[in-house]
Amino acid sequence: MKKETLNKTHSEISKNVKRLKKKKHLSKSDLVRKTGLDYHTIAKIESGRTPDPRISTIKKIADAFKEPLEELIK
């Protein structure tokens, strides 16, 4: 995959995390509790600073939102 394609995917994940947090009325702290992930990990994903989030990490976030994985990567 080209670097620009990867960056687009990551920015989409970031946008989708922000969108779903707002839609579900959840904070980063709520996601920490629901996912078991570190606060900084979630913050980096949401800001787009994580260069390559693991699929298992994204899956935990999707599960916390009670949404399919595809909802975060579309």
CATH of 3-73, one of 3.40.1010.20, 3.40.50.720, 1.10.260.40, 3.40.50.300: 1.10.260.40
User: Average pLDDT, whole number, for the chain?
Assistant: 87
pLDDT classification of 8: cutoffs 50, 70, 90: low
What's the one-letter identity of residue 29? Answer: S
- Decide if pLDDT at 2 tops 50: no
* Phi, psi (degrees; rounded to nearest 5) at 59: -65, -40
Which residues lie below 8 Å from residue 25, measured CB to CB, with a gap of 6+?
none
Which residue is it, tokens 């009670």? Answer: 66
The domain limits of the chain are 3-73
- If we measure between CA atoms, which residue out of 25, 22, 19, 13 comes closest to residue 49? 13
Largest CA distance in the chain: 34
- Decide if pLDDT at 38 tops 50: yes
pLDDT value at position 5? 44
